[in-house]
Amino acid sequence: MIKIIKRIKQYDERILGFIIVDVILILLSLVPTYLSPLIYEKFIDDCLIRNEYSLMGIMAVAYLMLWLFESIVLVVRNNIEKNKYVNLRIRISESLFNKGLHASSAFSSSDIKDRVESDIYWQVLSKVIVEKIYIYLLLTGCLVMMISLNVWFALIAMVSIPFAKLILKTVHKKLVRCSQEYRNKYVLYESWLTECVTVREHIKANNSVGFFKTIFDKHWTQLAKLYMKKQIYFIVQYCLNEFKDTYLIKLNLYLIGFFFISKGYITVGILLAFMKYYEKCIFANTKINELNVTNASYKPYIDMVDELETAQEIREEHVETCVGDSITLDNVSFAFDNEMIIHNFDLQVDHCKHILINGESGVGKTTLLNLIAGVYTPTEGSVTIRGHSMGKLGYDTLAKIRSVVRQNSYFFKISVMDNLRLANANATDEEILRICNITGCDEFITDIKEGYNTVVCNNFSQGQMQRLAIARAIVQGSQLLLFDEPTSALDRENEERFIHLLETELSSKAVIVISHTIKCDKMITYKLV
């Protein structure tokens, strides 16, 4: 329970305060439960037995006041819990959503979705922790009230429960022993029967059918006796389990109670009030057992949610970017499934340097781009900026350092303007429109009725999507731009426009282009083999 509270505290530091407030409200809501049997006792002893009917009105008002008090407390508690539930649920969902987006690729989309939508922590808090507190307070309070009515009668009642459980445990042991004996006998019988059927020709040849039939009857007689014995124990256990609270213990307590009444130790009202408290204790005991089972059933789901904690990629380092920063690839190698894709690759990407990396398909150009972008971690060597590993930089930091344009960039089902502003929320409309103009995006966006408010949903060609991706990367405002086949879907005119962008708009940026079609004499070319 403490472990779960500590876990929930990570999402809401005020959770302990909420639990304390809830415990106070629980205590207040239990006041009518503690007091109503006492009023019942006074009603029986004073109003009915002693004929003091004048007290009936007072008793009725007392009951009504207790009911109103309990109702008000329950309404207040329900509202507080509801508000707390909403706030806590939002905090947990937000945290799990963030962790899910940063989780490693080992997690599938459905795995992450199930964990984000999980309500397990609140269920444990409300259905196990808080409810368990309620039940224990109910049990403790009722035991105290029973002792206050008559200490000896209370002790007898407390002893009765473990006594009944002892009887049940004894019967259960006998049932288990008998069941095991039956199974062992049945295994022997099956083995013997299989042997007889297998060698039946030999039995017939030796005229031994009668002999084996006698053995068969003996086996079944033993099995039948054991089976009947097992069923008897089962029925006894069932009956004791079903009726131990209703008949076995209650009947015992009523008999003892009548004896105490005859001796003048207690009154009829005290006995009936006592039994009401006792019923609450039985209820609490049953509930505790149920909650323990529930708690155990929740554990796999808690572990499932907690997996996101360990499955996150560790990205904690941060570094401030500035003019003159350079990215260094030092003896970088990368293997996938024990196959070396990149081998001992060195590269220095300084400020304003434009690099073109070409090579045949399958030589690892896209893999190299992902290594530079900090998406992959090198098997050997390092990719660093100012001594910091790119693979360990926080995503906010990476967004400032580099922009990535992939061959098939993804666009969300939101407006064109929101998609372009995705990685730079501070970008102004004027700046975005300017960039769309120089990248050629404005030409086809303005032809659409909704313009920049158009929701992206398979309504643009591949070449148009590629131009939008280039525009989005420029809007991001990073110091380093990485392009993976940025002109694969562009015609010659737009390819030349992209090269012009490199020479003008992006001249002050570090640029790496992966392409086997672009030819630009002003770029430093590396051939990957």
**Residues 174 and 307 both lie in one domain:** no
Angle between helices 15-42 and 131-149 (to 10 degrees): 30
Question: Which whole number is the average pLDDT over 487-497?
Answer: 87
> Counting beta carbons within 10 angstroms of the beta carbon of residue 78, is it exposed (0 to 12), middle (13 to 18) or buried (19 or more)?
exposed
Phi, psi of 171 (to 5 degrees): -65, -40
Which of the given ranges, 187-201, 295-309, 370-384, has the highest pLDDT on average?
370-384
Question: Which whole number is the average pLDDT over 488-503?
Answer: 87
> Is residue 123 within 8 Å of residue 295, measured between CB atoms?
no
Question: Which whole number is the average pLDDT over 99-121?
Answer: 63
**Residues 173 and 62 both lie in one domain:** no
**Residues 431 and 337 both lie in one domain:** yes
Question: Which whole number is the average pLDDT over 292-317?
Answer: 60
**Residues 120 and 47 both lie in one domain:** yes
Total domain count, the chain: 3
- The tens digit of pLDDT for each residue in 332-361 reads 898 887 788 888 888 888 878 888 888 777
**Residues 337 and 441 both lie in one domain:** yes
The amino acid sitting at 146 is: M
**Residues 370 and 422 both lie in one domain:** yes
**Residues 242 and 292 both lie in one domain:** no
Give the model's confidence band at 164: pLDDT under 50 very low, under 70 low, under 90 confident, else very high: low
Alpha carbons 226 and 181: distance in angstroms, whole number: 8
Alpha carbons 172 and 185: distance in angstroms, whole number: 20
Dihedral sign for Cα atoms in the order 452, 456, 459, 463: positive
Q: Return mean pLDDT, the chain.
A: 78
Query: Does residue 271 sit within a domain?
Result: no
- The tens digit of pLDDT for each residue in 172-230 reads 677 677 777 777 777 777 776 777 777 777 666 666 677 767 777 777 777 777 778 76
Question: Which whole number is the average pLDDT over 83-103?
Answer: 69
Query: Does residue 274 sit within a domain?
Result: no
Alpha carbons 507 and 287: distance in angstroms, whole number: 72
Q: Which long-range contacts (CB under 8 A, 24 or more apart) does 253-261 make?
A: 253/153, 253/156, 253/157, 253/160, 253/278, 256/153, 256/156, 257/153, 260/150, 260/153
* Phi-psi region at 362: left, alpha or beta (left = phi > 0; alpha = psi -120 to 50): left
Q: Which long-range contacts (CB under 8 A, 24 or more apart) does 177-182 make?
A: 178/226, 178/229, 178/230, 178/233, 179/230, 181/226, 182/223, 182/226, 182/227, 182/230
- The tens digit of pLDDT for each residue in 410-461 reads 888 889 998 888 878 888 989 999 999 999 899 899 888 888 998 888 788 8
Query: Does residue 345 sit within a domain?
Result: yes
- The tens digit of pLDDT for each residue in 240-257 reads 555 555 555 676 677 777
**What is the span of the domain harbouring residue 113?**
2-149+282-311
301: Cβ contacts below 8 Å, ≥ 6 apart: 118, 120
Question: Which whole number is the average pLDDT over 387-393?
Answer: 76
Query: Does residue 321 sit within a domain?
Result: no
pLDDT at 507 over 80: yes
pLDDT at 379 over 70: yes
> Which residue reads 């876990």 in tokens?
7
Instruction: Give the bridge partners for 356, in sequence order.
Output: 513, 525
Alpha carbons 212 and 191: distance in angstroms, whole number: 14
**Residues 76 and 127 both lie in one domain:** yes
190: Cβ contacts below 8 Å, ≥ 6 apart: none
| pLDDT confidence of residue 468 | 92
Query: Does residue 270 sit within a domain?
Result: no
> Is residue 440 within 8 Å of residue 489, measured between CB atoms?
no
Give the model's confidence band at 298: pLDDT under 50 very low, under 70 low, under 90 confident, else very high: low
pLDDT at 297 over 70: no
Question: Which whole number is the average pLDDT over 52-61?
Answer: 76
